[in-house]
Structure 1
Amino acid sequence: MSQTSVSDRKYVHRVLSKTAATDEVLIITSYDYFLQKYDLRLLKSVYKEIILIPHSTDDDYLLKHTVSPLLEKYEKIHLITNPQYDSRYRVIYELVVRKNKSIRITTVFDFCEKNLKKIYIPESIGDTNPNLSEISSFGKRIKYPKKIIDVTVSILLFLASFPFWVLSYIKIKMQSPGPIFFRQERVGLANKLFYCIKFRSMGLDAEANGATFSKKKDSRVFSYGGFMRQTRIDELPQIINIFNRDISLIGPRPERPVFTESFDEIIPYYNMRHNIKPGITGYAQVMYSYGAGVYDARHKLMYDLYYIKNWTLLLEFKIILMTIMVIFGKRGR
């Protein structure tokens, strides 16, 4: 058996915690894909130490030299693994048993949903997540309270934000002559198309070279347009879409057909986000920082599917509160 390469050893990450609630050590294999900084901060408050083990050309050597030293320091091991293709948990299990230590093994599917509050999306279109078989469209028990929230909050939001409608009309006319509103085709419930309405934040020739994702610092955005995007004022006209029953207040972000068609082909379960109406704001939008492209779309899908599967009134109001915090904190896209 050949020794693992220097690069393999280099990318074994150890995260120490001084405020852990237990003396348990967390070991996660093949972690690159679903963890972000927010997740690590959350886990550091629970576990004494976190070991992140990537794919390796020599798992036996890597794991024995990573895990064995831990067993001299700690009595409890919590191992997170993907049973569909990750066999390294057997090596770790044998090491732990040999040392007469305690170990519990959790699948990455259950760990993501219960501990990180998101649904694990496989990397490959051919892989599965058994937990996703339970996801379906919203029934009457959820649709009715959501409709009440949509109408009530939208009316209040329109009345409270009316001065910004007037201000935006004046500013847009001054800085970028042309239409006040920007209408763009988006994908809604059951893949039906609708026109999403926003205040225009870019110049009229913004997509002269074709459809592209917007960016944090986008040269196509004029001055007041940048302010609107940062504070989410540009989203206000979507209240009209709510009254037209195209979208809901909370749901997955409505994407353009050109992007959803591409994502459907390469991201497993992507089309499940269309089981419900899209929203002005949503769980993914407040939990995941700005991002464009396949990697970010896949990660935001984890939050969208968690919202669909685990909807409660408490989660609905939590997202509303977090959206308000995002707006006033100016943590925009």
Structure 2
Amino acid sequence: MGNTYVSDRRYIHRLLSKTATSEEVLIVTSYDYFLQKYDLAALLKRYKEVILIPHSDNDDYLLNHTVRPLLDKFEKIHLVTNPQYDRRNRVIYELVIRKNKSIRITTVYDFCEKYLKKVYIPDNISEINPNLLVIPVFGRRIRYPKKIIDITISIILFLLTFPVWIFSFFRIKFQSPGPVFYYQERVGMDRKPFYCIKFRSMGLDAEANGASFSKKNDSRTFSYGSYMRQTRIDELPQIINIFRRDLSLIGPRPERQVFTETFDELIPYYNYRHNIKPGITGYAQVMYSYGAGIYDARHKLMYDLYYIRNWSLFLELKIIFLTAFVIFGKRGR
């Protein structure tokens, strides 16, 4: 997708676009961890070049020997600033002004939300400002259309997939004796626990060694269980959770309490995702690749918070469409 230029031990990532129509160059003063390959692909359609500046112990060397020469090529500069790197931001700004270039400045918070459609969560705990991020609780204006969508699509989905329920019942019984449905306690809205219902896709001893994240190609699944997970058939019984008002169709994925307790301690703003009902599918599920652990939970949270802060009927329908694309394509991002 691009080239990496190395100068001694100091380096930047310089990504060259072949499709962008803009003559603008994007400079990100510190890209931490939040720029994924999907983000970079989108940015390279907008900018001629994207310059990502990593952490460095010698900013003067890095900026003067690498950034300064690149500025000669462009008349327009878009600088994405990070409060953690105030000095670096000032140096780049002065370099641009000295060369009489045009510059626009966007904070990393605004940049993520406007261009990447996710909410920036600082990687450095010292940057955390609990007053900076306002996360709303859905009012009637949002709850009512969501409820109509939930009930309507759930009824249609149940009627269309009822033969799959019957088929799955007998296949599970044949391949893995035991209960057909799997009940697992999850954390819902306002941290209230509920039992999430799924078709059982693993053996009865799957968690003999304790709770653990599920993963792709999980060895604990039996043959048809693996197929159900790949095609999301195992998620169908969660329609019952929607009728019970435990779940919404769209929302943050409900997690187990043993994991949410850890995430609450280690991931800033994680508790905000409990402001709304969790969902069978969600913005994070269709925008982020399958993953587990703190790193992936932090990335997914950025999308969940964007969904809560920027809910619209269009976004709701878009997620439903993308979910269908993922299911019928038998793949995730």
Please say whether Structure 1 and Structure 2 have the same fold, judged by a TM-score greater than 0.5: yes
Match of 2:9 in 1: 7
Give the Cα–Cα distance (whole angstroms) in 2 for the partners of residues 30 and 80 of structure 1.
Answer: 8
Match of 2:182 in 1: 182
Match of 1:244 in 2: 244
Residue 32 of structure 1 pairs with residue 32 of structure 2: yes
Match of 1:70 in 2: 70
Distance 1:158 1:238, change over 3 A: same
TM-score scaled to structure 2, two decimals?
0.95
What are the equivalent positions in structure 2 for 1:128-277 lying under 5 Å apart?
Answer: 128=128, 133-277=133-277
TM superposition shift of 1:132: 5.2
What are the equivalent positions in structure 2 for 1:13-162 lying under 5 Å apart?
Answer: 13-128=13-128, 133-162=133-162
Give the Cα–Cα distance (whole angstroms) in 2 for the partners of residues 277 and 142 of structure 1.
Answer: 12
Residue 326 of structure 1 pairs with residue 326 of structure 2: yes
What are the equivalent positions in structure 2 for 1:302-313 lying under 5 Å apart?
Answer: 302-313=302-313
Give the Cα–Cα distance (whole angstroms) in 1 for the partners of residues 86 and 234 of structure 2.
Answer: 45
User: Secondary structure of 1:104's partner?
Assistant: strand
Kept after mapping to 2: 8 A contact 1:169/1:180: yes
Amino acid across the alignment from 1:252: P
Kept after mapping to 2: 8 A contact 1:122/1:129: no
Question: What do the CA deviations read for 1:276-331 (whole angstroms, capped 9, x no partner)?
Answer: 00000000000001011101000000000000000000000000000000000001
TM superposition shift of 1:79: 0.7
TM-score scaled to structure 1, two decimals?
0.95
User: Secondary structure of 1:159's partner?
Assistant: helix
TM superposition shift of 1:154: 0.4
Match of 1:295 in 2: 295
User: Secondary structure of 2:308's partner?
Assistant: helix
* Greater Cα offset, 275-284 or 69-78: 69-78
Amino acid across the alignment from 1:227: Y
**How many residues end up aligned between the 2 structures?**
328
Amino acid across the alignment from 2:9: S
User: Secondary structure of 2:249's partner?
Assistant: strand
Give the Cα–Cα distance (whole angstroms) in 2 for the partners of residues 129 and 118 of structure 1.
Answer: 17
Distance 1:131 1:68, change over 3 A: farther
TM superposition shift of 1:31: 0.8
* Greater Cα offset, 45-54 or 115-124: 115-124
RMSD: 1.5
TM superposition shift of 1:129: 5.6
Amino acid across the alignment from 2:246: D
TM superposition shift of 1:6: 3.1
Amino acid across the alignment from 1:78: H
Q: Percent identity?
A: 76
Give the Cα–Cα distance (whole angstroms) in 2 for the partners of residues 259 and 127 of structure 1.
Answer: 24
Give the Cα–Cα distance (whole angstroms) in 2 for the partners of residues 245 and 165 of structure 1.
Answer: 21
Give the Cα–Cα distance (whole angstroms) in 1 for the partners of residues 52 and 7 of structure 2.
Answer: 17
TM superposition shift of 1:85: 4.5
Amino acid across the alignment from 1:209: N
TM superposition shift of 1:268: 0.3
Amino acid across the alignment from 1:265: E
Give the Cα–Cα distance (whole angstroms) in 1 for the partners of residues 232 and 72 of structure 2.
Answer: 52
Kept after mapping to 2: 8 A contact 1:172/1:180: yes
